[in-house]
Amino acid sequence: MAIPPYPDFRSAAFLRQHLRDTMAFYDPVATDPSGGQFHFFLDDGTVYNAHSRHLVSATRFVVTHAMLYRTTGEARYQAGMRHALTFLRTAFLDPATGGYAWLIDWQDGRTTVQDATRHCYGMAFVMLAYARAYEAGVPEARDWLAEAFETAEQHFWQPAAGLYADEASPEWQVTSYRGQNANMHACEAMISAFRATGERRYIERAEQLAQGICQRQAALSTRALAPAAEGWVWEHFHADWSVDWDYNRHDRSNIFRPWGYQIGHQTEWAKLLLQLDALLPAEWHLPCAQRLFDTAVERGWDAEHGGLYYGMAPDGSICDDGKYHWVQAESMAAAAVLAVRTGDARYWQWYDRIWAYCWEHFVDHEHGAWFRILYRDNRNTTREKSNAGKVDYHNMGACYDVLGALGMGAETG
């Protein structure tokens, strides 16, 4: 694959064009006329599973189309967003309980639920989808957002902890697992919900979630075992929110609940803290964001092959040396937000370094979009460009976030 010359990665024109180019991979093949979008694609765009549909992909297709519509103003992207929204509400939502199926089979216009487990992670993306849709001109999505928020509050919210539980049965019996990932993405959703609606309850909840994870839970994991990752965010907790060091210890590449400190989650939190600070300032946001980002890139960058590793063990060793697309994307976005906020040129240097690495290794210059996972030496690990959850949400979102940080918000494009 020929690698084109480096563009100006800080250029608004480049960021907008890269959004278009990435979505172009999905445009000709993703839409299923019978409902929603297909979710499973090989590198060349071939759909390799036409019937399985995952809640995370379904919601993220709403978000990516909303971003493209607000970036370009083109009606086809708003139509794609509405198509995805309709599918989310007709195929995944159980109106009787307010819950959303995690995985369904869709054939002949009918839903067969394959996994009805209620995941707070999925509900976070439901709320994000509705918030972005409301911003992009779907007025009824404001009520859908409120409905999803109230469902999450009723069934997942734990007032004593100030955080959301993670998982429940279809009848809303909450399990004992607690995780930071669902709370991180709930914080992301709350920030977007406040931007879209101006309702203060959303931004106040975002601050509570950020404090709970990045201050209290991070301090817990540091005291317990992890001097190599002081103040870092651990992934897994017991029902009482004590640290669970062993959950998925032998499943370090789990797509939603991997073991180890996740390099990309430290940088993703850095980005979210500064986005939160722009709306509800607090003295602790910036120093925490800088510490998380600085230590993550210091310990997570592969000096030999480039790119950021996936996972780090509590003793500071790399426990998963794979390169994941989302880790690079969230880290470049965090670098840009930090650069703009602090004026420190080293953050722009990190932004350019990560982008250059992705341009050479993750961007598919032949077929479009980004590869999903690479080995440490940057060989592609799979022919599957997108499986459940990917849809290039993270890398398109990074472009969108950088445009916002530069004051060239997508809606002005």
Residue owning tokens 């080293």: 346
C-alpha–C-alpha distance, residues 362 and 145, integer Å: 34
**Torsion over CA: 45, 116, 77, 355 (sign):** negative
Long-range pairs of 152-161 with CB within 8 A, sequence gap ≥ 24 = 152/120, 152/123, 152/124, 152/127, 152/186, 154/98, 155/98, 155/99, 155/118, 156/120, 156/123, 161/212, 161/241
| Among candidate residues 143, 168, 165, 144, the one with its CA nearest the CA of residue 156 | 165
3-state DSSP call for residue 9?
coil
Q: How far is CA 107 from the centre of its chain?
A: 28
Amino acid at 181: N
Specify burial of residue 248 (Cβ count, 10 A radius: 0-12, 13-18, 19+): middle
What one-character DSSP code corresponds to residue 384? E
Q: Find out whether 306 and 331 touch, Cβ atoms under 8 Å.
A: no
Neighbouring-strand partners of residue 179: 236
Active site residues: 265, 394
Helices (H), 301-392: 325-342, 345-361
- Enter the tokens of residue 412: 């002005």
Q: How far is CA 398 from the centre of its chain?
A: 10
